[in-house]
């Protein structure tokens, strides 16, 4: 099954302040009024299991940069609050058109930011949660920024979202539902995250899709099989320093049977170095 980055447009009250490299998520700001013990008891907005959770924001907003991301684990769900600044570096008052979707197959909540938000102070954040394990800020090939909130492995997640103004923020609550099937998940490594293909049976053509770490200028894709068949190709990246970089490459044909896909960096001898490894079963 091919998961495309075209899965876009998809967003309960009121983040890690970081540079463009990974840093731990900060504790919730003490300047914000204390939330009730269970933050998910606020309001009656329903949680979405799959697809579009919210379409938010104004027609025009002054938000230009992702400034902070905060995690709050109080209650029966976990909350991500994203705050924004203007081009002048002051807190933004409004957020432009924004979508929040649940990609249940991968266990990801995806935020598609408006075109006016073109920079980020945060590349990614590790989360020590029971439902959320990492947040990535990703620049797509069309320069759109998305924020992918990754759930904990094998835990089905649901989400709801609201936007606030003056200051502009996006608040996303992530919960779980035991009646749902566990997500297939993604394959992650320090330099690369592979969304597709997923481990197991796959068919050609294979879309190798995911994102690479900031500053990386190229990555290597190697598909090797037991029948000595092999596909080996390099992908050039822009080397963006502030966000993860989306990539997509299609392999039309290749080895049969048990095969191993490597997506990452190579050493001086052109051998796989650090990256994501996916075990495939191919016809």
* Domains, in order of start, for the chain: 23-176 (2.60.40), 187-282 (2.60.40.10)
* 134-143 residue pLDDT tens: 999 999 999 9
Residue 267, class by beta-carbon neighbours within 10 Å (0-12 exposed, 13-18 middle, 19+ buried)? exposed
| CA atoms of 133 and 98, how far apart (whole Å) | 23
Instruction: Report the largest interatomic distance among the alpha carbons of the chain, rounded to a whole angstrom.
Output: 62
Confidence label for 227 from pLDDT (cuts 50, 70 and 90): confident
DSSP string covering 113-152: --TT--EES-SEEE---SSEEEEEEEE-TTS-EEEEEEEP
Contacts of 160 (CB under 8 A, 6+ apart): 12, 45, 46, 47, 48, 53, 54, 172, 173
Give dist(CA 217, CA 232) in Å, integer.
Answer: 17
**Integer angstrom CA distances of residue 62 from 26, 84, 90, 207:** 25, 9, 10, 36
Q: Give tens-digit pLDDT for 156-210.
A: 999 999 999 999 999 999 999 999 999 999 999 999 999 999 999 999 999 999 9
Residue-averaged pLDDT of the chain: 88
What lies within 8 Å, CB to CB, of 168 at 6+ separation is 61, 62, 63, 83, 84, 91, 92, 93, 94, 95
Across 13-27, 104-118, 261-275, the highest mean pLDDT is recorded for 104-118
Q: What's the pLDDT tens digit per position in 8-21?
A: 333 333 433 333 44
pLDDT band for position 251 (50/70/90)? very high
Predicted confidence (pLDDT) at residue 31 exceeds the cutoff of 60: no
pLDDT above 80: residue 265 = yes
What's this model's pTM, rounded to 2 decimal places? 0.85
Rounded Cα gap, residues 158 and 45, in angstroms = 12
Cis amide linkage into residue 59, ω under 30° from 0: no
**pLDDT surpassing 80 at residue 228:** no
Distance of CA 125 to the CA centre of its chain: 11
Q: Using DSSP bridges, classify how beta strands 244-251 and 206-212 pair: parallel, antiparallel or unpaired.
A: antiparallel
Per-residue pLDDT tens over the stretch 70-90: 999 978 899 999 999 999 999
- Burial of residue 7 (CB within 10 Å: 0-12, 13-18, 19+) is middle
Would you say 17 and 121 are in contact if contact means Cβ atoms under 8 Å apart? yes
């Amino acid at each position: 099954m091919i998961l495309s980055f075209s899965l876009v447009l998809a967003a309960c009250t009121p983040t890690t302040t970081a540079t463009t490299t990974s840093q731990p998520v900060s504790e919730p700001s003490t300047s914000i009024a204390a939330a009730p013990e269970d933050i998910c008891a606020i309001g009656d907005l329903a949680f979405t299991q799959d697809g579009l959770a919210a379409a938010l924001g104004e027609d025009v907003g002054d938000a230009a940069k992702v400034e902070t991301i905060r995690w709050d684990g109080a209650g029966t769900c976990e909350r991500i609050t994203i705050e924004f600044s203007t081009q002048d570096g002051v807190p933004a008052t409004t957020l432009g058109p924004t979508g929040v979707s649940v990609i249940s197959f991968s266990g990801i909540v995806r935020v598609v930011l408006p075109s006016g938000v073109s920079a980020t102070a945060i590349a990614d954040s590790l989360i020590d949660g029971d439902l959320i394990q990492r947040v990535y800020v990703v620049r797509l090939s069309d320069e759109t920024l998305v924020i992918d909130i990754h759930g904990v492995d094998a835990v089905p997640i649901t989400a709801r979202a609201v936007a606030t103004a003056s200051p502009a923020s996006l608040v996303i609550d992530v919960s779980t539902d035991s009646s749902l099937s566990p997500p297939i998940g993604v394959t992650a490594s320090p330099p690369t995250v592979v969304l597709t293909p997923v481990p197991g049976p796959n068919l050609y053509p294979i879309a190798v899709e995911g994102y690479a770490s900031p500053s990386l200028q190229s990555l290597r894709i190697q598909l090797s099989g037991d029948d000595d068949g092999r596909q080996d190709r390099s992908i050039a990246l822009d080397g963006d320093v502030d966000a993860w970089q989306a990539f997509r490459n299609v392999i039309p044909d290749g080895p049969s049977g048990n095969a191993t896909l490597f997506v990452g960096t190579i050493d001086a001898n052109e051998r796989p170095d650090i990256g994501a490894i996916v075990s495939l079963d191919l016809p």
